[in-house]
Amino acid sequence: MKSFFKFLILLFAFLGTSFNSNSAEKVEYLKTDWSFKGLFGKFDRGSLQRGYQVYTEVCSSCHSMKYLSYRNLAEKGGPEFTIEQAKAIAASFEVKDGPNADGDMFTRPGKLSDKFVMPYENVKAAQAANGGAYPPDMSVLVKARGGGVDYIYSLLQGYEDPPAGISLDDGVYYNKYMYGNKIKMANQLSDGLVEYADGTTASVEQMSKDVTTFLMWAAEPHLEARHRMGFKAIVYLIILTALVYFSMKRIWSRIETEV
Ligand code: HEC
C-alpha cells in the first residue's frame, strides 16, 4: 500500500512538471467548438460549403489546393454539394488542356474530374507576385502545421499593429500567432467580405471557422468514415471481452475447488 501511494505521488509530480513546461512554451490559440472533434465528430455541411466559398472567393487567388478535384465536392463526408452543383462549380473555371490536333494548348470549361485550378503557373511566379514568399498549397496544410485547425483559425484573426520598437519591412505584417510574428501575407478577412449563399453573417470569426473547417476536410476527407469505424471497433471489443470473460468462467467452473 505504501509503495502504491509513493507511485501515485511520483506520477502526479511527473504530470505536474510536464504540464507546467508545456504551458510555458505554448501560445494560447483562440478557441472555438469544432463539430468534427471527438469520437462521434462530424463535419458541419453548411460550414464546409461556406468554407469552400471563402476559399474560392478569397484564398484561391494565391493558394493552390492541388490534390482536390471538383468531384470531391460532391462526395460523401465532404461538403456534399449535389452532382449538378459540383458540375456547375467545375464549369465556372477555365482549365488549360491540350495539345489539340494542331499541337496547340487550349482552354475549356472545367469538368468534375479536373483538379482545382492553380493560381500561378509555377512556384517562381507565385513568389514573384508575393514579395518572395510562397503561399503554401493548402491541400494538407492543416496537417503540416503544429496546432492544426486552432493555429489556422487563430492566424486568420491574429493581425495586430506591431508593438512599439518592432519595425516591419514593406509587405511584412505583424501576426500574433505566426512563428516569429512576421508574415508576408496581409490580413485577408474583413467583416462582410463574402456574401454567404445561406444567409449566415460573414463575420471575420465565422469566415475563419468555415474556411478552416474546409481545410480540415481537405486534409482528412475520410475523417467521418474513420470515426464510424472507430466506434464499431469499440463495440466489437466490448462484445468480445464479454464473450471471453464468460467462456473463461465456464471453462474454470469444471475444476474442483479444494476444500
Ligand atoms: C494575396 C495572396 C494571398 C491570399 C489571397 C491569401 N494568402 Fe495565405 N499566404 C500568402 C503568402 C504569400 C503566404 C506565405 C507567408 C509567409 O511565409 O510569410 C501565406 C501563408 C498562409 C498560411 C501559412 C502560414 C504559415 O504558418 O506558414 C496560411 C494558413 C494561410 N496563408 C491561409 C490563408 C487563407 C485561409 C486565405 C484565405 C482566407 C489566404 N491565406 C489568402 C498569400 C495569400
The answer for residues whose C-beta is within 8 angstroms of residue 186's C-beta and 6 or more apart is 173
Residue 40 — very low, low, confident or very high, per pLDDT cuts 50/70/90? confident
Q: Look at residue 26 in the predicted model and tell me its pLDDT.
A: 66
Site to substitute for ligand 1 among 55, 60, 62, most atoms within 8 A of C-beta: 62
Site to substitute for ligand 1 among 54, 63, 157, most atoms within 8 A of C-beta: 63
Distance CA 41, CA 52 (A): 20
Residue 255 — very low, low, confident or very high, per pLDDT cuts 50/70/90? confident
The mean pLDDT value of the chain amounts to: 91
Q: Look at residue 7 in the predicted model and tell me its pLDDT.
A: 66
* Closest atom of ligand 1 to CA, residue 183: 18
Reported as a single tens digit per residue, the pLDDT across 156-199 is 999 999 999 888 998 999 999 999 999 999 999 999 999 999 99
Region 100-110 average pLDDT: 96
Smallest CA separation from ligand 1 atom 13, residue? 135
Smallest CA separation from ligand 1 atom 29, residue? 152
Q: Look at residue 10 in the predicted model and tell me its pLDDT.
A: 72
Is 232 exposed, middle or buried, given 0-12, 13-18 or 19+ CB atoms closer than 10 A?
exposed
Contact (Cβ atoms closer than 8 angstroms) between residue 50 and residue 198: yes
Contact (Cβ atoms closer than 8 angstroms) between residue 131 and residue 209: no
Reported as a single tens digit per residue, the pLDDT across 123-139 is 999 999 999 999 999 99
Name every protein residue with a CB atom under 6 angstroms from any ligand 1 atom.
54, 58-59, 61-63, 130, 133, 135-136, 141, 145, 152, 155-156, 183-185, 188-189, 211
Reported as a single tens digit per residue, the pLDDT across 86-103 is 999 999 999 999 999 999
**Amino acid in position 257:** T
Contact (Cβ atoms closer than 8 angstroms) between residue 78 and residue 221: yes
Residue 53 or residue 252, greater confidence: 53
User: Of 129, 111, 109, nearest to 119 (Cα)?
Assistant: 129
Three cell numbers, residue 36: 468534427
The answer for residues whose C-beta is within 8 angstroms of residue 115's C-beta and 6 or more apart is 66, 67, 68, 69
